[in-house]
Chain A
Amino acid sequence: AQRVTQPEKLLSVFKGAPVELKCNYSYSGSPELFWYVQYSRQRLQLLLRHISRESIKGFTADLNKGETSFHLKKPFAQEEDSAMYYCALGRAGSYQLTFGKGTKLSVIP
């Protein structure tokens, strides 16, 4: 069975401090991993997908298959980064996306 674990329900950091949102997954096959973000009263948006190795809004995430992790990082947090972040796992050839329970990031001015 596939599973996504986000160990922190809430993460508070000061503006300008580095941010790391943790995500670990359990899946025996080849995973497809994503980060989604949900700002207050806005729709769930795709932030990053591991396959594209891109940086969006200063965020990056690297898939570490050895540690089965896909942590989201940003060197300098901004107030507008405050939101709920979900890590999600997809399987090649499947429509199903398994979400973690989410981490609420709060950036303190």
Chain B
Amino acid sequence: DTEVTQTPKHLVMGMTNKKSLKCEQHMGHRAMYWYKQKAKKPPELMFVYSYEKLSINESVPSRFSPECPNSSLLNLHLHALQPEDSALYLCASSQDQGQYYGYTFGSGTRLTVV
């Protein structure tokens, strides 16, 4: 298995809803990432988990809450989002720090906040 799988592919949620995005990989990668990508823009790093511990939080608002239950899974819990949070949310993974191998990206969850 050489893929990163993200579910759901599409999500529409109200500003008072609570939802979760899921990401899974079975490549034995020990680093996992959440990125946010707005239309026609490059991905922006949100969070990095390394060996199941939060390594980097790029000053993301607390309405986004990451969780790494085990080395294969990464969740992003969403609560009280704003319409401007609508974007494509990408999960990625890498062998350790990834500087030699690059990242493997999932196909993303397209989130619309109404």
Contacts and interface: CB of A to CB of B under 8 A. Distances in A.
A46 B98 contact: no
Given A45-B105, A99-B43, A93 B97 contact: yes
Contacts, number: 55
Interface residues of B, number: 25
Contacts of A100: 42
Per DSSP, are chain B's interface residues mostly helix, strand or loop, or mixed?
A: loop
Given A49-B101, A51-B100, A86-B42, A43 B107 contact: yes
A90 B99 contact: yes
A29 to B, nearest CB: 11
Given A36-B102, A49-B100, A49-B101, 20 more contacts: A32-B99, A34-B102, A36-B105, A43-B108, A46-B103, A86-B43, A90-B98, A93-B99, A94-B97, A94-B99, A95-B48, A95-B55, A95-B97, A95-B98, A97-B103, A99-B42, A99-B43, A101-B41, A102-B40, A102-B42
Interface of B: 31, 33, 40-43, 45, 48, 50, 55-56, 90, 94, 97-108
